Chain A
Amino acid sequence: MGVVLLWPTDVPNDLVLPRVDADAVFGEEQVERAERFESFRYVLWVLSQIALFGTLWAYTRRGAAFTRESSAGPIGTGMLLGMLGLAIVWLVALPFRIVGHWWSRRYDLSDAGYLEWLLEDWTLLGAQFLSLCLALLIVMGLARKLGDRWWLPGAAVFVAIAAAFTFLAPYIDYTTDPLEDEGLLAAAREYETELGLDEVPIHVQEVSDRTELANAYAYGFGPTKRVVFWDTILMAPFDDAEQRSVLAHELAHHSQDHLPEGIGWFAIFAVPGAFVLMLATKGRGGMGAPEAIPLALLVVAVVQLVSAPASNVITRRMEEEADWKALEVTRDPDALEGVMVDLSETSLSDPNPPGWVHLMTGTHPTPEDRVAMARVWADRDASREAPS
């Protein structure tokens, strides 16, 4: 039922994307450079996944021994085991991440020094520790109260937390400042009217001191809707028309309710996911027992990996829809194509990644597909206007 409600988008069902000559659009040299850059990262991704699952498997076998290092009772001990598992995974992944950072620096995608980068990583790890502790507190608390029936209320609690976090995130975020570009703000008001939105605050996040990557995102929902530009996208090579195209894309996420829909999709995944977790950990005393936590981490990682293709299909559909709506309000397919070309230059994204990469990690349509969509929209628009 939920899938039926959430699946449809405003992208025409009969849309067939033509093949695009990537070399012609992005430039042969640029495509080669992006492929070289990305192919190394694909290998790194595969190796890090192998290391991740190997580590979690070993931790599943040995991790319970760390219960001796706790005086904190079952739930506190579970938290310790969860955090240690995360710490080990972080430690094992660190060499891959360092190599990845070295690779990004080599291609001038990052200016951050290794120490600065590592300190940021520690901060992130701290935040992950805290989130994990909160999750374990809820799951273990419910499991100790309800036994094997924890998974249904557990999933509901997580959906509620996801919704609360999505709603409150703009209030928590202190890293952005309101956009001051009058031209873009005027465009935003125009697009909001066309998309049927109330005024959405547009903010800027300063990242240019540490990265060359360009990005923008939409978050919050209802009264907390917000769009954030990385300041890198407000600089060359992105011109005004391209910035407006990005703006329209992000506003379209709000007009199409993609964030609440995302929560709906999360609910659809969370319920069976929690059920699988309950079943898998039953043999180790269930989620109420700290000894089950190492196994639970492995199960969560497997569930995430297995569900990645499906979840990527969903996010790709949302991105396609946002692109389509952006084309309708900007009526500027060249700008979208320009954004893709510039992104390929600044972020070195592979215009047409291998199928398995797209399947496992492709949260967005490929740059090639997005250019193709812009061209299809242009053709349709031309044919709509032709009779008049």
Chain B
Amino acid sequence: MAVAQPEQRPIRLVMNDDLERNRLTVFFRLILAIPHLIWVMLWGIAAAVVAFVLWLAVLINGQAPTGLHDFVAGYLRYATHVGGYLFLAASPYPGFRGRPGYPIDLEIDPPQRQSRWTGFFRLLLALPALVLAATLGGGLFLGGSSGGSWGSAGGDGASATGAAISFTGTAAAAAFLAWFAILARGRSPRGLRDLVAFALSYSAQAGGYLFLLTGRYPTSDPTLAEKWAELPEHPVRMVVDDDLGRPRLTVLFRVLLAIPHFVWLLLWSVAVFFAAIAAWFAALVTGRVPTALHRFLAAYVRYSTHVLAYVFVIGRKFPGFTGRAGSYGIDLEIAPPERQSRWRILFRILLAIPALILNSALSGVALIVGVLGWWYALVTGRMSEGLRNLGAACLRYSAQTSAFVFLLTDRYPYAAPVLRGKAPAGPEQHPPHAYYAPPPPAQDAS
């Protein structure tokens, strides 16, 4: 798949984190963050009030005044620092003024002219982005209603009374898992850190759009994360070779059209249950999954990916029923069977629990991608590229999790929500990421 190069966004996440973590501060992270949570809430209320003034200014002048813009931008930057700290994507204790230089930081362009029309309807227009941001859970949730992110601080200057803070979504799941990993290793798993960073980045865009810091709609394209994220070689790889056109009729009836696939998937799952048990015993004895079982289980994982891609409007065409490699636009390449550690085979289900937890959170993201993509495609006859790629990245993680559970590989699923990334480098060659390292050349995700 030729993925377009990421263009310069008006709100950009910059990363200067070395993954090293202090176990003690990580252990007490939630308690240590309390002062920041109080402060971010108070600042959030003030920012919401100022955002209302910004809204009036945009309606009158078509542009936000620089002073007010900087005040809200400062809040957004500070909240990103706090989010990064809380969700273990950064190590140092953040300052209370939201000054640049934190390992997880934002760059926000000065105010630009904005359309008065999109300014007027900003709250309404921001809703889909806020829903996705809430599911990704990269933001601190301010407000009394469920689900939300930066932007739920009462909307365009609306009251934020009864504000409460809660931590929900994929970022929270990633942080929960990272907490254990860091306590064990003293280092954050890179994939989890990158997932949190992506969530923070998207939430910052959504918040900036809602608070009228920019008129550019947030993009959920995983290319956002490619600046800092790696995608290590993995025996299960996602191949996206699909166009973005979506005939409205097939979109409208998408779930119903998938009914025969649901039935077939259910029947196939029953057989897979027994095949996976057989594969487990065989692998425990021989150290590898027999080729025939591997092929059968791989076809199932591939087929379920095709079906999910179709249901969530990530793929265009009606998939086949056999899970044949290369038969669908959103496809998987699965490597042939390899020798696996018997210990890892023996404890496979236990080992898979963290991946299953994260997969459950990412499935929620895929579902939201499906719902938002459904509406988008129904209106425009096309799928949003950002949503399509984010959905594909979630499906990639889901497929890698299934492959791990079904013993197709003993490589752990990789959490960063990217379809391509920088080649992994050793620690000595991998200094803290420079701001805006040049992105890799366009290439096929395969």
Contact = CB atoms under 8 A, between A and B. Distances in A.
Interface of A: 66, 69-73, 76-77, 79-80, 83-84, 87-88, 91, 122, 125-126, 129-130, 133
A70 B256 contact: no
Nearest to A79: B260
A79 B329 CA distance: 19
A72 B318 contact: yes
Nearest to B322: A73
B30 interface: no
A91 B253 CA distance: 10
B125 interface: no
Contacts of A76: 318-321
B300 interface: no
A73 B317 contact: no
30 contacts: A66-B247, A69-B247, A69-B316, A69-B317, A70-B317, A71-B317, A71-B320, A71-B327, A71-B328, A71-B329, A72-B317, A72-B318, A72-B320, A76-B318, A76-B319, A76-B320, A80-B257, A83-B253, A83-B256, A83-B257, A83-B260, A84-B249, A84-B250, A84-B253, A87-B249, A87-B252, A87-B253, A122-B256, A129-B257, A130-B259
A66 B260 contact: no
Nearest to A71: B317
B263 interface: yes
Given A69-B316, A71-B329, 8 more contacts: A69-B317, A76-B318, A83-B253, A84-B253, A87-B256, A126-B259, A129-B260, A133-B259
Contacts of A129: 256-257, 259-260
Interface of B: 247, 249-250, 252-253, 256-257, 259-260, 263, 306, 316-322, 327-329
A129 B318 CA distance: 14
Contacts of B252: 87, 91
Nearest to A72: B320
Q: Which 5 A-B pairs have the closest CB atoms?
A: A70-B318, A133-B260, A72-B320, A80-B318, A87-B253
Contacts of A91: 252
Given A126-B259, A130-B263, A71 B318 contact: yes
B320 to A, nearest CB: 4
A72 B321 contact: yes
A91 to B, nearest CB: 8
A55 to B, nearest CB: 12
B315 to A, nearest CB: 9
Given A71-B320, A73-B320, A80-B318, A66 B250 contact: yes
Contacts of A126: 256, 259
Nearest to B255: A126
Contacts of A122: 256
A352 to B, nearest CB: 40
Contacts of A79: 260
B245 to A, nearest CB: 10
A78 B56 CA distance: 56
A66 B316 CA distance: 12
Contacts of B253: 83-84, 87
A73 B249 CA distance: 20
A140 B300 CA distance: 24
A103 B337 CA distance: 63
Contacts of B321: 72-73, 76
A290 to B, nearest CB: 11
A65 B257 CA distance: 17
B260 A130 contact: yes
A79 B253 CA distance: 14
A108 B304 CA distance: 47
Nearest to A127: B259
Contacts of A72: 317-321
A83 B249 CA distance: 11
A198 B327 CA distance: 56
A318 B208 CA distance: 71
Interface centre among A72, A77, A91 (most CB of B within 10 A): A72
A69 B318 contact: yes
Nearest to A81: B318
Contacts of B306: 71
A136 to B, nearest CB: 9
A176 B429 CA distance: 70
B250 A69 contact: yes
Nearest to A130: B259
A71 B319 contact: yes
A22 B29 CA distance: 84
A122 B255 CA distance: 11
Nearest to B315: A71
Contacts of B320: 71-73, 76
Nearest to B316: A69
Contacts of A87: 249, 252-253, 256-257
Contacts of B327: 71
A126 B252 CA distance: 13
Nearest to B250: A69
Nearest to A132: B260
Among the interface residues A66, A69, A80, A133, which one has the most CB atoms of the partner chain B within 10 A? A69
A125 to B, nearest CB: 6
A260 B144 CA distance: 62
Nearest to B249: A84
Contacts of A133: 259-260
A273 B321 CA distance: 29
A128 to B, nearest CB: 9
A70 B318 CA distance: 4
A72 B328 CA distance: 9
A110 to B, nearest CB: 24
B243 to A, nearest CB: 11
A130 B255 CA distance: 12
A292 B219 CA distance: 43
Q: Which of B263, B318, B319 has most chain A Cβ within 10 Å?
A: B318
Contacts of B329: 71
B317 A84 contact: no
B318 A77 contact: yes
Most buried by B among A69, A71, A76, A80: A71
A88 B256 contact: no
Contacts of A130: 259-260, 263
B7 to A, nearest CB: 31
- Among B259, B306, B317, B328: residue with most chain A CB under 10 A: B259
A84 B253 CA distance: 8
A91 B248 CA distance: 13
Given A71-B327, A72-B320, A84 B259 contact: no
